[in-house]
Amino acid sequence: MLILVRHGQTDANARGLLCGHVDHPLTDLGRRQARALAAALPRPARIVTSPLGRARQTAAVLAGDRPVEVDERWIEMDYGRLDGVVPTDVDGGTWTRWHTDPDFAPPGGESLAAVGKRVREACLDLADDAARGDVVVVSHVSPIKAAVAWALGVGDTAVWRLFLGDAAVCRIDTSAPVPVLRCFSSPA
């Protein structure tokens, strides 16, 4: 099973900011969420994480004394100049274009298509191992939603129709001929 875990809460998440590559640490609640995840999730064969600190902090709690693999492909979307902005402060034309054109990238940022491409490659690289044993990936909203779009076989813009909470878990079964989404945005 490919078990996708969103990192615990950060102050920026709690304030509803777009959090791309700006690296915010976990809050006290985020650390408690990571401990709860560690207690509830099965002991995986592998643990993979985004390179950002909030994901690495969460992965370290899940791993205990086991090794954690860092994979750059699981990093959050680069929001460019929109990083740290409240979504309601983004002008309507930018939102409309971003929601309808997967190749659109905010100034200095990354497109949904680029995120989808790197995440699909990461999912394919983990699929065989996840078919034989649990593989936990600690990541962020955009990459996890891109992995869900991969599992469902839908386009990149479908991610705008999904909500993923802090410390939420998604499970993708990769043992079937096609990936099967077993759960989305659930507690561990």
- Domains of the chain (ranges; CATH) run 2-186 (3.40.50.1240)
Please identify every residue annotated as catalytic.
7, 76
Q: How many residues does the chain have?
A: 188
* The predicted structure's pLDDT at residue 55: 98
For the segment 102-153, what is each residue's pLDDT rounded down to a tens digit?
Answer: 999 999 999 999 999 999 999 999 999 999 999 999 999 999 999 999 999 9
**Mean confidence (pLDDT) of the chain:** 96
- For residue 110, give Cα distances in angstroms to 67, 92, 115, 188: 30, 18, 7, 30
> 171 pairs with which residues across the strands?
3, 183
Query: How, if at all, do strands 180-186 and 169-173 pair?
Result: antiparallel
* Mean pLDDT across 150-172: 97
* The predicted structure's pLDDT at residue 188: 74
Q: In angstroms, rounded to a whole number, what is the distance separating the alpha carbons of residues 75 and 67?
A: 18
- This prediction has a pTM of 0.96
Amino acid in position 108: G
Q: Is the per-residue pLDDT at 77 higher than 80? A: yes
Question: Known binder of ligand: residue 72?
Answer: no
For the segment 93-103, what is each residue's pLDDT rounded down to a tens digit?
Answer: 998 999 999 99
For the segment 12-27, what is each residue's pLDDT rounded down to a tens digit?
Answer: 999 999 999 999 999 9
Q: Are 169 and 41 in contact (CB under 8 A)?
A: yes
Question: Known binder of ligand: residue 121?
Answer: no
Question: Known binder of ligand: residue 110?
Answer: no
**Mapping DSSP to helix (H, G, I), strand (E, B) and coil, where does residue 26 land?**
strand
Q: In angstroms, rounded to a whole number, what is the distance separating the alpha carbons of residues 128 and 110?
A: 28
Q: Are 2 and 47 in contact (CB under 8 A)?
A: no
Amino acid in position 5: V
Question: Known binder of ligand: residue 133?
Answer: no
Q: In angstroms, rounded to a whole number, what is the distance separating the alpha carbons of residues 125 and 147?
A: 12
Structure tokens belonging to residue 98:
């971003």
